[in-house]
Structure 1
């Protein structure tokens, strides 16, 4: 609804906030043309904004009050209504669309922050040009306003012509924003702008179609970021996020389809499944139909559905027409929950010069869906020989253009011919489908893919798979001795990589250097997980690889040292990413030497990225030097709450027994406020992501989060319910922790007066 925070009036109407402002048919399929008149005391709210174009403004009699009239000629649902009023600074820039429309772009921020709004405005210009070029979409009003406020539950909101953001996704300068912040701002500014067509001009018939606007728009912002930066790195980053958030959601009690059939609380509907898996469904559609038919399908969708409240079926119909394909079974991706598993095995017949590949799929039961039908899985593949890709010769109708095999049955066999050597299959290139893949390849074959595969994603994936296998074995058994040999193999492969192709794309090299996280390994084990054993295995392998690579990792510190002014561009950001990833491994392997490097890095840094890298490295090295650096960081950024959020999170993630007490002490510090969503996400959300300390064997971590959830629920149910999502994987824990987590959830569920937001998550988690 309408609220006031830090002196600024603001609205948030999605999904059903408009009914808190006035009586209305508050449904997404009720689309209206709005004219809004705002009046306010000029001294308190000199800026008055609403959707659409400004058609009149001026002073009211007496001179103390003024007014503004805004008209939006485009019909829209009530959830896109927005007004803002308050004291705000701004920056502006004129823009001319490809169709010749003159548009005034503006970014409004809290007083004194306009100097940090430039990157957001620059990102807006670039994404508008990209949408014109790639999707043929032009902007349709005379103004486009972005407003950034510090107290905002949502990350951002795409209100027509008046996007409202949490200021962490708008404000940036080198000393207060990291490379990751610049990348996030670029992506989220684009996401909200892209909603102008995929969400606003074409909206949803009902909230069950939410993935129609969100999954499609996430796909669009991913493509924009891929074109702006390194496509392989963006794909790896997105898949890391998908696996850590959505795969775990699919594997737990909160699993639901991309288009759920029912919901209790709409605020709990904005999930990784709807957003990230929804985007993967769009990506599969593009792989299946091909670039040309996909582009024509999007054009048809924009033409046919403009100005309407549409459904998934209407969207898919456009691609059926342009591709000529039957997408009936493909639509199962919208109806079935769970992450499919593809099992792959192969056999090479040297005498015949042929290779037979067997693929089989299955999807595990999920709450309310015991039986699963086969889904349509596009498996982009290649066959890799000693020196690179081999030709794909097969008469199987399952093999489509571009090396894509369509697995739409429980199993499939296909044979490739004309092969003079045994190939190594490279499957799911570019991660062509959101599935788990089980391969019958040995580690030596996977490391061959790491060096010879032409697909960057699968090169990264091959190395990750070798590391994951070793960590899963050690995490299950608790036996760390077998990791030593595997560390030598992995380090040797990395040494060759760093000496050769790594510098061609340092950002990709940084991703390769980053091992699968301990949380990734826990998810792979999936049952009776001992977080301490998993963490110990992860720490041992990381330390061993860091020690084996001490010389090249140390050399990177000097080789990648940057001279000249900071730039958030992809090139220098990639170099910093590789240098800082190397520092993290050194901190585990050579703490004394790394401590000196980190402190020097902090002292010489002219940007937040390097300071945060130094802080992160020092959090891995207990002692007085760490605490001193933590203190200096807090003093330097005492007046920068968004930076202190990173300081809070860095401490919440320290994997040590004293971290819970540290977090409780930080809650009492001036840097923290339970009333600010950003502070809560940083400190409390950070702690809930701490594998060993949230999952303490004594249950204190569960009790702490449960207590915060019930306290916060009284003031901010949306943030509280998100925090409770930390328990979504509790069933995979070993029996002792499982019982303790269940008890904490039951305590939350039994709390009198719970909001629908929290009671819904608690009930589904316990079901």
Structure 2
């Protein structure tokens, strides 16, 4: 019916309504098979779908209605034709709803629905559904983008087998990719009855892809265009040959080697550790820069942000290389934990994301230093998730409601969700966890399931009751664990008392005690491990670590046969995502020097330094600049000197230990933050330590020079990290700027060049201007590297300059010819880096930083609501700021909320922030 010309773009004037987890109902209709046919055109792509559908008997039982109407989700679709069991439907037999859905009131129990729609990929700036970038076609369907491609029950518990035919101009789109295995490909004849008019066939070709595994539509993918492949092969443990390919734009082929190696290592690791083998004949990755996310795990065709694929020593830092390894692994691991077994509804998002983050963390730990990987993951958790737990967007790992599901791709769902899985692993042990994974796949392969299904598999495999543990999925907030202890020399008994509480969060004012695994040890006065025998136990335990479970608001743990007062070492390996309180400074200093657990050693040093900084902030608030004149804390200086002296044993760990806690982390420890005082204190402390430790810092820096070829093994990365940490201190002293400039000029890899540039950007010197100009001239045509140039300037804070001057520079970058608000990477590199990485300037007392971020959100929202919503988060922390900052942040939020036609995601974030 080619005469139908109706666009069903959703009504943006209505107030968005929330979706509630408790309202879940099984889908009314199921889709057994989908045949998709695309005729690609940037302005008018035709999509024909053939859906083999049937009424869901479970839905009929729950709803009590046999004749429920068919409702298919749709958005920004122009309907061209509609046929039910071969018969064309006239306009009186269906309706298009204001939200974009297609409703057919009368359908049989089994039927075939054929739909033709038109979409405009080139006009799709939301980067959700099918869109164009650089002349190529890409899709992003998670979470609800498939409804922008065709009408469909767009929910994860509707799983179907997909066959996809792609037709396109061969000259502009020589590569046609989709999910599954390729089955047909070739030129179209001049006349192809039933598919294309003859005049359109010339110069066109098609490819057919068949995915043998049922999947939800959010895992659908299509990539087409002028791309080149870097190819590889992998032989599975059962002997199947898998063809691997990474598809990039021409000229980027020499930057895919590390990604390909990471993919092969991921495939091998998943077989060895979890017994999981890849299940298709091909595995494709396509990379582009216009992408809202880091990557997407579509079955057999992963779509990646170029940031997590492209790397070469002169263009990528060590952190980039490590990020690529992690994200490649994460998306590949989704093949089983997310694709073969997926989530029943979007409230179960952490079922796939938290579990898969845990898996990628374990993979990266096995590929490098487990200790350093763990503390970096914890640092990331505290930087992103802890503030979320303490703010207006706090939500459980499994949320109870949402307006826009895209807003719940959060650190809580991902990183805290991974910590919840890790706690299960800690409680039941590695062998039982592996048995639980095997049981999970045995029970639920090719199903859409819930968090309860995963926890039940772990419980059944281990025999350990995890029912109370599910509180971690239901309760928001970061628990606080307070420590006190006592020792009785007459009985040789040591009593450790742990108390827990969780602050109120929106919608959850009262919290129940959580089951908290506390991996712990006891040390004697020389730092030696003591045996841990709880009162009443008859065994003779060996010295080392054991796991206590804190389940009540307060619990006492009594240890026998302790000869002298011990020092408790708690939360080894960071066994639970909690805040540990009540450790005296002298104990923290002792643990930082003597603990056998690397995490506790690092954490104790960080907590000691945080205490020093908080004390200085209080004195600065009372006495002003005079408080900063005193020499640095002796204990802190001694600890850093000891770190430098022993750095050769583990340079990567030493590099982490030398870094002072970040300004945002210190702010999170204060009831009301003082960004200016925190910045002043941290910089004064860094300068004092640099002066006191100048000689050992310079010796370490010089001793770590490396003229050999660039290597990305753990030892080489650790040496570069330590050398650049030393440079950060040395740049604060005499000759520091010249030293940084020399490293910038002579740097043989991007890690060293960028570290030097970051140091220079924080100075007000001619070398700063010259280095930034040289970097831009060298890399202005490389989008990923140029993102680094924007980010470094967005995070720079030059001493002695007034805040309005620095903020004027940020605004100038926003109008720079190389800034493109349509590119999410560029927006994140400037506005995101500024708001998250430059707290002193973002929280300028005059509110200019808040106004800038609000301007970005308002300009971006009509183009890309998903990315705009994510930019709102820093403004939501106004409750932690004193007046007038808090009022200025509220004012910025109110200005965003007043914009007509705000996207659902941005509306949700802003309205919750103001609530």
Q: Same fold (TM over 0.5)?
A: yes
* 2:812 maps to 1:678: no
The corresponding residue for 1:564 is: 708
CA distance in 1, matches of 2:629, 2:580: 23
Q: 2:302 aligns with which of 163, 177, 190?
A: 163
Q: 1:637 aligns with which of 769, 773, 779?
A: 779
For 1:6-405, what aligned pairs fall within 5 Å after superposition? 6-62=134-190, 64-385=203-524, 386-395=526-535, 402-405=545-548
Does the aligned pair in 2 maintain the 1:483–1:541 contact within 8 Å? no
Does the aligned pair in 2 maintain the 1:209–1:311 contact within 8 Å? yes
The corresponding residue for 2:563 is: 420
Deviations 1:667-686 (A, max 9, x none): 22222111111110001111
What's the offset of the Cα at 1:547? 1.4
Does the aligned pair in 2 maintain the 1:258–1:335 contact within 8 Å? yes
Does the aligned pair in 2 maintain the 1:155–1:165 contact within 8 Å? yes
* 2:841 maps to 1:701: no
3-state SS of the aligned residue for 1:371? coil
Does the aligned pair in 2 maintain the 1:652–1:659 contact within 8 Å? no
Q: 1:496 aligns with which of 642, 661, 665?
A: 642
The aligned length equals 761
Deviations 1:628-670 (A, max 9, x none): 1111111111211211111111111112422211111112222
Q: 1:718 aligns with which of 848, 860, 866?
A: 866
Structure 1 unaligned spans of 5+: none
CA, structure 1 residues 655+627, in 2 after alignment: closer, same or farther (shift >3 Å)?
A: same
Q: 2:657 aligns with which of 497, 512, 517?
A: 512
What's the offset of the Cα at 1:205? 0.6
Deviations 1:540-564 (A, max 9, x none): 1111112111111111121111121
CA distance in 1, matches of 2:598, 2:755: 26
* 2:574 maps to 1:431: yes
What's the offset of the Cα at 1:603? 1.7
The corresponding residue for 1:533 is: 677
The corresponding residue for 2:84 is: none
* 2:909 maps to 1:761: yes
CA distance in 2, matches of 1:272, 1:197: 22
The corresponding residue for 1:605 is: 747
Superposition RMSD on alpha carbons, in Å? 1.5
Pick which of 320-329 and 236-245 moved more.
Answer: 320-329
Deviations 1:27-78 (A, max 9, x none): 1011001111111110010000000001111111246111111000000000
The corresponding residue for 1:627 is: 769
CA distance in 2, matches of 1:522, 1:736: 17
CA distance in 1, matches of 2:238, 2:388: 43
What's the offset of the Cα at 1:482? 7.5
What's the offset of the Cα at 1:93? 0.8
* 2:812 maps to 1:665: yes
Deviations 1:712-734 (A, max 9, x none): 10101111111111113221011
3-state SS of the aligned residue for 2:230? strand
CA, structure 1 residues 388+484, in 2 after alignment: closer, same or farther (shift >3 Å)?
A: farther
What's the offset of the Cα at 1:350? 2.5
* 2:793 maps to 1:651: yes
The corresponding residue for 1:749 is: 897
Which has the larger Rg? 2
CA, structure 1 residues 483+436, in 2 after alignment: closer, same or farther (shift >3 Å)?
A: farther
What's the offset of the Cα at 1:506? 0.8
CA, structure 1 residues 233+423, in 2 after alignment: closer, same or farther (shift >3 Å)?
A: same
What's the offset of the Cα at 1:485? 5.6
TM-score under structure 1 length normalisation = 0.97
Structure holding more helix per residue? 1
CA distance in 2, matches of 1:751, 1:419: 66
Does the aligned pair in 2 maintain the 1:359–1:413 contact within 8 Å? yes
What's the offset of the Cα at 1:486? 5.1
TM-score under structure 2 length normalisation = 0.82
Does the aligned pair in 2 maintain the 1:720–1:758 contact within 8 Å? yes
CA distance in 1, matches of 2:791, 2:350: 30
